Amino acid sequence: MKLHKKAGVVLAALWVLLTVMGGTAEAHFSSTGFSDITVKDKSLEYNLFLLERELLEAMPQLDGNGDGRLSEDELSSENDELTALVHDRLIVTGNNKVGTGVVLAAKQTEKAKVPMIEIDINYDFGEPVDRYMVQYNFYDGTNPDHRSYATIRMGKQSIVQVINSSNNILQMEGYHGTDAASSDAGAAAQGDAGSKPLNTSSSWTSMLKDYVTMGMEHIWSGADHMLFLCGLILASGTSGWTMLKLVSAFTVGHSITLVLSAMDLASLSPLIVEPLIALSIVFVAFETMFRKRFPQLKGKQIAVTVTFGMVHGFGFAEILHGTMSGNIALPLFSFNLGVEIGQLVVLAIVIPILWLIRKLIASTSNRQMWWTYATSSVVGLMGLYWLIERLISDFTM
């Protein structure tokens, strides 16, 4: 393919990127929070974790000196405004009575290896509560992709529920003493008020379901992970065996990191991981387009893919760091299983589509080359966009 044609392909891909995807491409961790909820007999304790920049977007007046950061003094001296924010974005009821949240503290902390703001809130109802309900509205339309990973604790039991714009209501039965941990009364979480609550039974089947679901949702919500998979499919060309080897190498890589990270044997800040994930997308696209010009890369695809799989594994592990405690074997296996199921679903959808398009438009060698440059350019440019965005975000945090 001549140089001017290659340039045209790249420019066309860039136009598609900016017009179709540019406004929505964000790191999957860029709008994530955590909700640690402790259910008690007469009260509910809510430890809310938000990224500093998201708290400033919701309440810019907190930044008294206008430096774009929240100091401990600014957090501690603005509890009235924080309380107003909590009342506006969190609705907690006990026995259908709206509770009044009292902000006990707000401080800089770390959650899931990321600097965050922790807001500690207490809802005291003054009498035993049989059913609590929490409505979470912190996405407020400004970050429609925002999600909060809620860990609901009741005695020795706990469950994890993902809160997002379409699943923002939690329902929990009241906790009445130590005997409740072994009774039928348990915490429950649900996506809407009319659906059946999920029991917080500590059985292995319940935990398996919760973490498998988390793993599937995590890879589906991570456009960068899915785009990397698409890059691997393109890199494999028409060889099904090569694609199987590459996808398997990616799986092995992120599985290794998940184990090491969950056991606290290895960790890497998302501030480093996120740009590296974007860089992996750029690299796989670059390698697909120009592998003939770089023969030194020949035979190293598997090793490189395993390495990038390990990088993506740190991205998966961010959620486990924020939600998992105690026995990690079953949650780790379940989460990884969910990631693999989610990955297989993506492959089952993408492979037939790419195969059909390739068959329709790439009937000659020239068209096949055009197809390679066009698709890989789109993948690479999106990865480059994320890389620049995440580096800028890191420097401004």
Q: Which residues, including other chains, have CB under 8 Å from residue 331's CB and lie 6 or more apart?
A: 207, 211, 262, 320, 324
Distance CA 47, CA 227 (A): 34
Within this chain, do residues 125 and 161 fall inside the same structural domain, yes or no?
yes
Give the bridge partners for 131, in sequence order: 173
In the predicted model, is pLDDT for residue 181 greater than 70? no
- The mean pLDDT value for 390-395 works out to 75
**Range of 66-70, 164-168, 321-325 with top mean pLDDT:** 66-70
Within this chain, do residues 23 and 136 fall inside the same structural domain, yes or no?
no
Within 10 A of 349 (CB to CB), how many other CB atoms are there?
A: 11
Per the domain annotation, does 212 fall within a domain? Answer: no
pLDDT recorded at residue 184: 39
Within this chain, do residues 108 and 197 fall inside the same structural domain, yes or no?
yes
Q: Among 34-38, 83-87, 98-102, name the one with the lowest average pLDDT.
A: 83-87
Distance CA 327, CA 170 (A): 25
Q: Among 138-147, 205-214, 275-284, 388-397, name the one with the lowest average pLDDT.
A: 138-147
- Count how many domains the chain has: 2
pLDDT recorded at residue 363: 59
Within this chain, do residues 135 and 277 fall inside the same structural domain, yes or no?
no
pLDDT recorded at residue 97: 94
Within this chain, do residues 137 and 45 fall inside the same structural domain, yes or no?
yes
Higher pLDDT, 260 or 95: 95
Give the bridge partners for 150, in sequence order: 35, 161
Domain interval for residue 110: 33-201
Within this chain, do residues 392 and 305 fall inside the same structural domain, yes or no?
yes
Within 10 A of 329 (CB to CB), how many other CB atoms are there?
A: 10
Within this chain, do residues 189 and 286 fall inside the same structural domain, yes or no?
no
Within this chain, do residues 181 and 253 fall inside the same structural domain, yes or no?
no
Within this chain, do residues 38 and 160 fall inside the same structural domain, yes or no?
yes
pTM of this prediction? 0.62
Q: ∠215-205-29 over CA atoms, to 5°? A: 20
Within this chain, do residues 158 and 264 fall inside the same structural domain, yes or no?
no
Per the domain annotation, does 277 fall within a domain? Answer: yes
Per the domain annotation, does 110 fall within a domain? Answer: yes
Per the domain annotation, does 266 fall within a domain? Answer: yes
Within this chain, do residues 169 and 82 fall inside the same structural domain, yes or no?
yes
- Look at residue 36 and give its three-state secondary structure: strand
> Tens digits of per-residue pLDDT, 253-312?
988 988 887 777 777 877 788 899 999 999 998 888 887 776 766 668 888 899 999 998
Q: Which residue has the tokens 């996405």?
A: 139
DSSP one-letter string for 97-164 = EEP-EEEEEEEEEEETTEEEEEEEEEEE-SS--SEEEEEE--STTTSTT-EEEEEEEETTEEEEEEEB
Per the domain annotation, does 213 fall within a domain? Answer: no
In the predicted model, is pLDDT for residue 39 greater than 70? yes
Mean pLDDT of the chain: 77
Per the domain annotation, does 305 fall within a domain? Answer: yes
- The mean pLDDT value for 329-343 works out to 83
Please, which pLDDT band fits residue 199 given cuts at 50, 70 and 90? very low
Per the domain annotation, does 214 fall within a domain? Answer: no
Per the domain annotation, does 243 fall within a domain? Answer: yes
Q: Which of 169, 201, 233 is the last residue of a domain?
A: 201
In the predicted model, is pLDDT for residue 28 greater than 50? no
